[in-house]
Amino acid sequence: MSKKLSIGLFGFGVVGQGLYDIIKTKNLNIEIVKFAIKDPNKKRSLPAELFTTDKEELLNNPEINTIVELINDTEAAFEIVSRALSSGKNVVSASKKMIALHLEELIELQHKHGTSLLYEGAVCGSIPIIRNLEEYYDNELLHSISGIFNGSSNYILSKGFIEGLDYDSALKQAQDLGFAETDPTSDVGGYDAKYKLVIAAAHAYGVIVPPDEVFNLGIQNLAAQDLQYAREKNLKIKLVPVAKELDERNVALFVLPKFVNETEFLYNVEYEYNGVTVQAAFADQQFFFGKGAGGHPTGSAVLSDIAALRYNYGYEYKKAKEKTDLKFTNNIELNIYLRYDDEGLVDALKFIDIKERYYSGSYKFIIGKVNLQNLIDNQHRISEGKAFVAFADQLTGVNLSA
């Protein structure tokens, strides 16, 4: 029999409102007792007595047995979640950055206090990838996970390929529609996708990797020449996070723009939609597709976690507890496309071999194999020099450096 959940909800923005709308339509034995908000003067659709600016009214309320955290402040979110777990309250969160930065500590808090933290809504919106990695694939050997984890950057890329908009115009449209923030760096720079990748990899491989050790390069330097090159080759450009098991001892994680061909599932994932491809030893290739952003899609994932708590569900982190020899590494080789102006950058990246090279008055590119560490060492130079880098291969071409 399910237990009644009395919820304290932090945040009443797009996702919080979406969650409330969904809960209203369902008979789930769930009650939202109190909402904690930042701005008490903002006009809201619910009675004022349901809202407070004092977090203690939720954290110290014995009537509340479940905290739902949906705010944008990473450190404040961690304080809320860690205090709730420590005081015996279960938690549902959609704060991917907070979870990725503090995952090891959050796992320990759950174990120590016998509480649960669920966060399906933090990774790929409505797509239930975490629960599938945790349950369906718990005894599966996973070769790789990759996909489109960020709807804002994918919206911009779709606008460029399908509608012919330049990067700045597409970004402006995304901002006007609320898909991208005023400062879009987290989305277009691959940081948002990286945080989601770190979380997914913990469930897929049992490796907990500090986000600052994972290389991410975004689409900020995308230019018309890059789009034209892709079109001529019948390719699309997508911002793709990758987790790949290289052998029984090493797993690699990175986020890069990728040339995607028409045989790949990701080729047809457009606008704010997300897609996740799982390559498994026994189940082979499987693909998950759904909306990655928005109040109702993310709200549905949050509600799924809340509903699971009625039956005392919690992540077991089986692969992390197995203590295998699998370790994270950046010592890999991969094929990239580099569009550049700075000849010195080509030398600095120390190409292992070169497959194609092109020069013209206004456009130079090179395609070849590099060590990921050389990209990491030259990340600032790539960004400042307005160079554009894309992964130009299939995942089978990503291998340990000799």
Query: Do 46 and 161 fall into the same domain?
Result: no
Which pLDDT score, from 0 to 100, does residue 166 have?
A: 92
Query: Do 158 and 76 fall into the same domain?
Result: no
Residue 307 domain flag = no
Q: Which of 89, 96, 159, 196 is catalytic?
A: 196
Q: What is the DSSP letter of 134?
A: I
Residue 309 domain flag = no
Query: Do 156 and 66 fall into the same domain?
Result: no
Residue with tokens 């940081």: 191
Residue 347 domain flag = yes
User: Which residue among 103, 118, 133 closes a domain?
Assistant: 118
Residues 64-79: pLDDT tens digits?
A: 999 999 999 999 999 9
Query: Do 106 and 161 fall into the same domain?
Result: no
Query: Do 186 and 88 fall into the same domain?
Result: no
Tokens of 121: 């809504």
Q: Which domain holds residue 152?
A: 142-291+324-400
| Whole-angstrom distance, CA of residue 120 vs CA of residue 105 | 18
Which pLDDT score, from 0 to 100, does residue 294 have?
A: 75
| Whole-angstrom distance, CA of residue 231 vs CA of residue 164 | 11
* Number of neighbours of residue 376 by Cβ within 10 angstroms: 14
Residue 129 domain flag = no
Query: Do 112 and 20 fall into the same domain?
Result: yes
Residue 127 domain flag = no
Q: Give the CATH number for residue 345.
A: 3.30.360.10
Query: Do 91 and 150 fall into the same domain?
Result: no
**C-alpha torsion sign, points 37, 38, 41, 45:** negative
Residue with tokens 């996970």: 145
Name the burial class of residue 208, with classes exposed (0-12), middle (13-18) and buried (19+) by CB atoms within 10 angstroms of its CB: middle
- The percentage of residues in the chain with a pLDDT greater than 70, rounded to a whole number, is 100
Query: Do 95 and 211 fall into the same domain?
Result: no
Q: Give the CATH number for residue 30.
A: 3.40.50.720
Residues 286-336: pLDDT tens digits?
A: 999 999 877 788 889 999 999 999 999 999 999 998 878 899 999 999 999
Query: Do 72 and 158 fall into the same domain?
Result: no
Which pLDDT score, from 0 to 100, does residue 1 have?
A: 53
Residue 296 domain flag = no
Which pLDDT score, from 0 to 100, does residue 25 have?
A: 79
pLDDT tens string, the chain, 402 residues long: the values are: 568 899 999 999 888 888 888 888 777 889 999 999 999 888 888 899 999 999 999 999 999 999 999 999 999 999 999 999 999 999 999 999 999 999 999 999 999 999 999 999 999 999 999 999 999 999 899 999 999 999 999 999 999 999 999 999 999 998 888 778 788 999 999 999 999 999 999 999 999 999 999 999 999 999 999 999 999 999 999 999 999 999 999 999 999 999 999 999 999 999 999 999 999 999 999 999 999 877 788 889 999 999 999 999 999 999 998 878 899 999 999 999 999 999 999 999 999 999 999 999 899 999 999 999 999 999 999 999 999 999 999 999 999 998
Q: For residue 295, give every residue at least 6 positions away whose Cβ sits within 8 Å of its Cβ, in sequence order, or none.
A: 14, 15, 17, 18, 19, 21
Which pLDDT score, from 0 to 100, does residue 22 have?
A: 85
Q: Is 196 a catalytic residue?
A: yes
| Number of separate domains in the chain | 2
